[in-house]
Structure 1
């Protein structure tokens, strides 16, 4: 089932499309692949893009909170699929070295720094990401912190979020591109 931009719940078979253009590509036991404006996203149980509008300024994405109130969404970095956790406490988009390599980032060419994390001080590299995409919103030249170790999820930090207008409606987080 997919909630589309018309706020209606749609039950789809593989290959079907909602009235606002979200197409169901495939389904397995714990996830579904959808196509939104030509971008494929894998949505796992408990996470979903509820709607996504065009990529221009003013575009928006609505993310449904999970059972713990976290906002988890599929997206991409430099075209490589990533799973993001919205984290307003993170200064920049933050990811582990394996995710950075998968996105084609030569992070060791970045500026070396240190980050204060929940687990203490960690060495990082500061880099610019060519693109970060969530639903129909794509930003260029986004600051990122690459951690030496692996991370279970990419943190969608303020270097992306500060270019959004954020609001909540119940369990939904609405990100609207400001510029």
Structure 2
């Protein structure tokens, strides 16, 4: 194990997932300790496991994808992404719904480490945004094909800017994933961060609990 870990170029303190087994049974803790191409070193309930893509641990955790930046795992028919991000607490509700809890962050905003079309990205929750919004610069970094989208104009702090209206294959935060999400890509580098707008938020259930934003998937 030491030899394998020694070749890992990038160590990540990643997301911690608390997943009840059964209806409301003992929680399962999963934490990424090292990420490599095609494999990942995971701590599962305190036990270190080296999994290659396609392998399943004795606890029932399957590694679906592994890179130096993230690991995607599946447990009880739900998928989660472990990245170098803030801690995310994700759980299964009795009906099988995925749940993500986001504590209030900078200036009272809610930040989430999520994924767009399977690519990891940090997003800010914006209930005032009509749709998911990202800059042309961020779209290129995420490999989003936007130039085929419907062109338009949007108003920004710097004036009017060219935009493209597109459909994203998927947008996810933890195990809460929505498919076919309308989005707008804005020319240039505005907004600086990806805005998680209502084209995603209106397709999930939201609650606020003592400064924590709770997102739940809909079945």
TM-score range, shorter chain: 0.7 to 0.9
Shift of 1:140: 1.1
Q: 8 Å contact 2:17–2:90 — kept in the other structure?
A: yes
Match among 5, 14, 22 for residue 30 of structure 2: 22
Of structures 1 and 2, the one with the larger relative CO (CA 8 A, separation 6+) is 1
Q: Counterpart in 1 of 2:82?
A: 40
Question: What is the RMSD of the two structures over their aligned residues, measured on CA atoms?
Answer: 3.0
Please, which runs of 5 or more residues in structure 2 have no aligned partner?
A: 1-12, 20-25, 36-69, 75-79
Measure how far apart 1:145 and its partner are.
0.5
Distance 1:35 1:141, change over 3 A: closer
1:114 is matched with 153
Q: When the two structures are aligned, how many residues end up with a matched partner?
A: 160
Q: Equivalent residue for 2:38?
A: none
Provide Cα deviations, 1:65-96, integer angstroms capped at 9, x if missing partner. Answer: 11521111111111111110000011111111
In 2, distance between residues paired with 1:160 and 1:39? Answer: 18
- For the pair shown, the structure with the greater C-alpha radius of gyration is 2
Name the SS for the 1:108 alignment partner: coil
> So what's the TM-score if we normalise by structure 1?
0.75
TM-score, normalised with respect to structure 2: 0.63
1:160-175 equivalences in 2 (<5 Å): 160-175=200-215
Displacement of 1:20 in angstroms is 2.0
Structure 1: state its 5+ residue gaps.
Answer: 7-17, 28-32
Counterpart selection for 1:105 from 144, 157, 162: 144
SS at match of 1:107: coil
